[in-house]
């Protein structure tokens, strides 16, 4: 979700306006607000009128600055360009009423409030100034460090830029979210009591006692450091610029902060209250219940005296955030398009610290199909006035989304609460939202619920889930964004480095699933504005395709402010198998799980704890580990690929190679949970977990032990625990695999839901869906060799001796999937299958046992030098399904019957048919033999006669009646035909 830093600057003066920021009018000397006073041609700003009593008309210099941008649905001024090329605004010393901006030396001075989004963060850039550009005397609010993480403010002494650390107050700033800056001026020209204070979002002031040089003779500039000398232009978005030439008291400061925070969706620091111009609370901070829900604060409110008229709002913090709109008409694109509230009424919302991922189990009322709600809970405070119906909106999901309201601060969400489906999809800033009308009451809690899959059904604690088949935009070619499916974090381009590409799935690429392809070590994508994990202990799963080269393919940042080589090792993963981790003082530790396989993809699993790290691959329970002193809390984002470059400042190069999936849990999984996630990944990517010496059961999302809800029985099945793969559907487990082959290069069998054995599985697929949730067909083989003499085992079927392959496949059906399409490749190098020799015929044979003696089915097939295709209906909910190929030698094939009448008679064959109903004669002369074609319903409604035969067009089967019951022709009453074609 796109976020902005909006600049609001506040100074003080001796004038009273009918409306003023937060109702604070005394000494208001400049009030530039982007929702009033703008004149423009197209989006080119030609004038911006001051809304203070001074009514300045600043000169537009250069650029020009641009209109047309919004923060929290309010218009803002956009300044773009290199240096000062984007333009700026200047109030010259010659302007009428300029003397009102002057301060009295030796007495209280100024205040500056700002909420800003800076897009130029790699160099000095001035936001608001009243100084001499030649010698840097006066007032400056600016971003100064090359990494763009520190805003320094100061009543400057000469050469302020070079000596800023000694003459200015400063803080490290996370640029990812909107900020309100407060610059507070000192009170004398000399002495140690001079205070230059800097506050961010109302936090504790950073103080620096400095000498003060009189700024009175200097122009007032917005978007540039001065009107002369060396100029450093700002690049970004500016909303309000407010200047007082007096120091505000605590209440006045809080009123202005509240006006700006509500207007621009900013969360104030330290549990602060949001107050109206009348001094009443819109949101009372620091008390129960708001002390629990003091995160991501946003809301709608109207305060005529305080100039607040917020009708639609969304927290500008990163990640997924709901939108609140006044009225029941639904989402709008700008604040002014929504209906207004009544004066001094408000609905303010805050949340706890839970994730917006659907990771908490919930059961809805009858008819509502959900499985999880967001971890995050929101609190509604309607402390002033009456609001009535509002529209609540949340990003759409693949399934229906519901808002769930619980009254009276009841944190238990269940079927007894109010459930409202969100509908009416609307795109806002590139995100599709769905909405519902609701009338909240004070102290209501709410959350959102849907049917949301999670890896293997393990939802609790998931904080990051990047999968190459979902959340990638665009879905082919170079990608712009990669949205994780747990918390909604959006990975984007970092700095000027290129981003990787999305490539389609295929037989040789991740089991027909797409991948994220890094073609050079200079590519990367990530998000270093969010917090990846929220626990000291966390687990990480990676799926990578074989053949990677280079260095670093994934890393978690310790924080989002320290941009250097020590910051991206919490941990970081290299293609060599090395995993690096730093403790809290920066000491580097490592483990080596061995180089990633060069022939098949790899699932790696890493357990990070405060005092240790351990890892293993492909379901193996033998871990490589090391211990270290406490690493402490990890609060940073994440990067795929290199972390070395401007904007991140790391020291690790990237990779060439393909990433399939990446999952992070902010906790340590249980062994069962790990096995469920491993099973999901193994089925999806065609991988055999662990080894045949230590086989594992493959589990579905409903498994609670290693022996229930097993979709592939590995334990006790060592003979056929080779090249395990399959197709399956598990809605809660996030699996929808419709075509599959083992990742082993020696694999020759492919399964599909249709006779297309080449098209990719997802995100777009032509393969028909698997019919029901938790249906699986899994296959493994006995690993016996094929060449050089493949047909070297004899088997007797129906009195005939056939020569079969030594390689036998075992299939396990779960949920009675029905007919499955099977392709056996005959031309795989080292595992080829030759054509029958000597005129023999090739057959597919199936049975309930590996010796092919029980319930045997055979089907003659035509040999191809590339593939043999079958369709098989395996025994339902059983792993007693064995199949292979066999040759019937030419000498065992009977000569065909030629041109005589074939019949069924109860007398000797010299008898000739002279009466009805004694003989069945099938032959063709002038007329054909026709069997009635009927629907199943018509067949069942017939008056049956012994010997009556029909063809059921719905079941595609012949049936014969014994006078009272139907039997499928040619099949005994309790045996089905295994071959569908």
More confident residue, 100 or 456: 456
Amino acid 245: pLDDT = 84
d(CA 658, CA 652): 18
Cβ burial, residue 29 (10 Å; 0-12/13-18/19+): buried
Contact 108, 246 (CB under 8 A): yes
Amino acid 210: pLDDT = 60
Domain boundaries, the chain: 6-235+247-252, 285-452, 457-672, 688-892, 921-968
Residues paired with residue 951 on neighbouring β-strands, in sequence order: 933, 958
Amino acid 224: pLDDT = 81
Amino acid 580: pLDDT = 98
Amino acid 184: pLDDT = 64
Amino acid 846: pLDDT = 97
Give me Rg for the CA atoms of the chain.
36
- Range 337-353 average pLDDT: 97
* CA angle centred on 624, ends 619 and 627, rounded to 5°: 135
Amino acid 805: pLDDT = 97
d(CA 735, CA 712): 15
Contact 577, 592 (CB under 8 A): yes
Domain 457-672 sits in CATH at 2.60.120.200
d(CA 882, CA 843): 14
Mean pLDDT of the chain: 87
pLDDT at 369 over 50: yes
In this structure, is the dihedral angle defined by the CA atoms of residues 144, 147, 150 and 151, taken in order, positive or negative?
positive
User: Could you tell me how many helices (H) and strands (E) the chain has, helices first?
Assistant: 4, 73
**Residue 466 CB neighbour total at 10 angstroms:** 26
Amino acid 798: pLDDT = 87
Q: What are phi and psi of 278, to 5 degrees?
A: -85, -5
- Range 219-227 average pLDDT: 80
Cβ burial, residue 514 (10 Å; 0-12/13-18/19+): buried
Q: Does domain 6-235+247-252 correspond to CATH entry 2.60.120?
A: yes
Give the predicted TM-score (pTM) of the model. 0.73
**Residue 718 CB neighbour total at 10 angstroms:** 14
Residue 651's closest CA among 723, 564, 737? 564
Per-residue pLDDT band for 838 (boundaries 50, 70, 90) equals confident
The beta strands (E) that lie in 622-684 are given as: 624-627, 638-641, 655-665
Amino acid 74: pLDDT = 96
Give SS3 for 262. Answer: helix
pLDDT at 901 over 80: no
pLDDT at 13 over 50: no
- Range 367-391 average pLDDT: 96
The secondary element (H helix, E strand) that includes residue 250 is helix 250-264
pLDDT at 392 over 90: yes
Per-residue pLDDT band for 228 (boundaries 50, 70, 90) equals low
Alpha helices, DSSP H, located in 736-883: none
For tokens 């232009």, the residue is 233
d(CA 500, CA 654): 11
Amino acid 103: pLDDT = 74
More confident residue, 540 or 214: 540
d(CA 104, CA 917): 124
- Range 699-721 average pLDDT: 97
Show the tokens assigned to 544.
Answer: 């990578």
- Range 4-20 average pLDDT: 49
pLDDT tens-digit readout, 742-789:
999 999 999 999 999 999 998 778 899 999 999 999 999 999 999 888
pLDDT tens-digit readout, 908-953:
545 444 444 444 444 444 555 678 888 888 888 889 888 888 888 7
More confident residue, 654 or 838: 654
Give SS3 for 772. Answer: coil
Amino acid 11: pLDDT = 43
d(CA 574, CA 570): 13
Q: Do domains 6-235+247-252 and 457-672 have the same CATH topology?
A: yes
Amino acid 193: pLDDT = 56
pLDDT at 420 over 80: yes
d(CA 78, CA 239): 9
Per-residue pLDDT band for 158 (boundaries 50, 70, 90) equals very low
d(CA 671, CA 268): 42
pLDDT at 217 over 90: no
Amino acid 7: pLDDT = 47
Give the distance, in angstroms, between the CA of residue 140 and the centroid of all CA atoms in the same chain. 40
pLDDT at 844 over 70: yes
The beta strands (E) that lie in 331-371 are given as: 345-351, 358-361
């Amino acid at each position: 979700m796109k976020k902005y830093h909006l600049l609001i600057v506040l100074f003080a003066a001796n004038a009273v306006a009918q409306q003023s920021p937060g109702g604070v009018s005394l000494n208001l000397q400049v009030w530039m607000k982007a929702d009033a006073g703008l004149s423009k041609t197209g989006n080119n700003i030609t004038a911006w009128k001051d809304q203070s009593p001074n009514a300045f008309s600043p000169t537009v210099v250069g650029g020009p600055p641009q209109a047309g941008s919004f923060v929290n649905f309010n218009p803002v001024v956009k300044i773009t360009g290199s240096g000062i090329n984007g333009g700026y605004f200047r109030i010259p010393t010659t302007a009428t009423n300029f003397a009102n901006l002057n301060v009295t030396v030796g007495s209280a001075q100024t205040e500056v409030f700002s909420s800003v989004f800076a897009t130029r963060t790699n160099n000095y850039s001035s936001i608001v100034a009243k100084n001499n550009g030649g010698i840097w005397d006066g007032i400056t609010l600016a971003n100064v460090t090359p990494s763009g993480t520190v805003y320094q403010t100061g009543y400057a002494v000469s050469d302020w830029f070079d000596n800023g650390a000694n003459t200015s107050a400063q803080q490290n700033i996370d640029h990812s979210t909107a900020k309100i800056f407060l610059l507070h001026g000192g009170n004398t020209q000399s002495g140690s009591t001079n205070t230059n204070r800097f506050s961010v979002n109302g936090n504790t002031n950073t103080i620096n006692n400095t000498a003060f040089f009189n700024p009175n003779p200097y122009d007032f500039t917005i978007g540039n450091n001065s009107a002369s000398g060396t100029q450093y232009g700002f690049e970004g978005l500016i909303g309000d610029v407010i200047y007082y030439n007096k120091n505000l008291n605590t209440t006045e400061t809080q009123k202005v902060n509240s006006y700006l925070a509500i207007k621009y969706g900013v969360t104030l620091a330290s549990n602060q209250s949001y107050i109206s111009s009348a001094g009443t609370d819109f949101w009372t901070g620091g008390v129960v219940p708001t002390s629990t829900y003091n995160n991501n604060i946003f809301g709608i409110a109207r305060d005529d005296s305080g100039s607040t008229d917020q009708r639609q709002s969304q927290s500008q913090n990163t990640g997924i955030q709901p939108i609140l709109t006044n009225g029941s008409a639904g989402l709008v694109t700008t604040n002014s398009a929504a209906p207004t509230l009544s004066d001094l009424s408000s609905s303010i919302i805050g949340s706890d610290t839970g994730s917006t991922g659907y990771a908490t189990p919930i059961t809805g009322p009858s008819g509502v199909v959900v499985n999880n709600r967001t971890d995050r809970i929101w609190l509604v405070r309607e402390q002033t006035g009456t609001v009535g119906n509002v529209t609540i909106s949340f990003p759409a999901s693949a399934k229906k989304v519901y808002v769930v309201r619980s009254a009276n601060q009841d944190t238990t969400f269940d079927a007894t609460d109010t459930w409202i489906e969100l509908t009416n999809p609307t795109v806002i800033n590139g995100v599709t939202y769905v909405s519902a009308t609701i009338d909240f009451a004070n102290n209501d809690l709410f959350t959102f619920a849907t049917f949301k899959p999670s890896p293997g059904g393990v939802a609790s604690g998931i904080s990051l889930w990047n999968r190459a088949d979902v959340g990638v935009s665009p879905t082919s070619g170079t990608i712009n964004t990669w949205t994780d499916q747990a918390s909604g974090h959006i990975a984007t381009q970092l700095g000027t480095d290129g981003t990787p590409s999305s490539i389609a799935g295929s037989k040789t690429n991740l089991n027909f699933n797409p991948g994220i392809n890094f073609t050079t070590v200079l590519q990367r994508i990530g998000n270093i504005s969010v917090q990846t994990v929220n626990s000291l202990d966390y687990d990480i799963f990676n799926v990578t395709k074989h053949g990677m080269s280079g260095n670093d393919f994934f890393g978690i940042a310790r924080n989002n402010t320290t941009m250097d080589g020590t910051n991206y090792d919490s941990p970081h993963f290299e293609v060599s198998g090395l995993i690096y981790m730093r403790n809290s003082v920066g000491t580097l530790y490592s483990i080596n799980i061995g180089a990633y396989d060069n022939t098949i993809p790899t699932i790696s699993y890493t357990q990070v704890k405060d005092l240790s790290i351990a890892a293993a691959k492909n379901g193996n329970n033998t871990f490589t580990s090391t211990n270290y002193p406490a690493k402490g809390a990890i609060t940073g984002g994440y990067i795929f690929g290199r972390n070395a470059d401007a904007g991140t400042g790391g020291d690790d190069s990237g990779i060439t190679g393909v990433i399939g999936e990446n999952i992070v849990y902010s906790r340590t999984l249980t062994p069962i949970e790990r096995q469920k996630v491993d099973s999901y990944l193994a089925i999806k990517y065609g991988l055999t977990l662990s080894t045949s010496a230590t086989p594992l059961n493959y589990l579905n999302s409903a498994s609670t032990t290693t022996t229930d809800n097993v979709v592939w029985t590995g334990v006790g099945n060592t003979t056929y625990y080779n090249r395990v793969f399959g197709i399956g559907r598990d809605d809660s487990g996030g699996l929808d695999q419709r075509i599959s082959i083992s990742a082993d290069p020696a694999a020759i069998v492919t399964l599909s839901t249709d006779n297309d054995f080449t098209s990719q599985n997802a995100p777009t697929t032509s393969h028909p869906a698997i019919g029901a949730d938790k249906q699986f067909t899994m296959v493994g083989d006995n690993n016996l060799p094929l060449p050089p003499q493949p047909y070297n085992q004899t088997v007797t079927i129906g009195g005939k001796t056939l020569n079969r392959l030594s390689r036998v496949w075992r299939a396990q059906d779960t949920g009675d999937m029905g007919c499955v399409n099977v392709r056996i490749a005959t031309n795989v190098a080292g595992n080829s299958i030759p054509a029958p020799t000597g005129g023999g015929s090739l057959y597919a044979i199936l049975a309930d046992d590996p010796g092919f003696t029980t319930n045997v089915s055979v089907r003659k097939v035509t040999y191809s030098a590339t593939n043999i295709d079958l369709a098989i209906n395996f025994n339902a909910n059983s792993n007693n399904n064995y199949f292979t190929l066999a040759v019937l030698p030419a000498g065992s094939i009977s000569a065909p019957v030629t041109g005589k009448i074939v019949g069924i008679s109860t007398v000797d064959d010299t008898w000739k048919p002279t009466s009805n109903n004694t003989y069945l004669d099938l032959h063709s002369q002038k007329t054909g033999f026709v069997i009635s074609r009927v629907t199943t319903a018509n067949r069942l409604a017939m008056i049956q006669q012994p010997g009556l035969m029909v063809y059921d067009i719905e079941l595609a089967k012949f049936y014969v009646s014994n006078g009272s019951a139907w039997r499928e022709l040619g099949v005994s009453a309790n045996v089905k035909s295994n071959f569908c074609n």
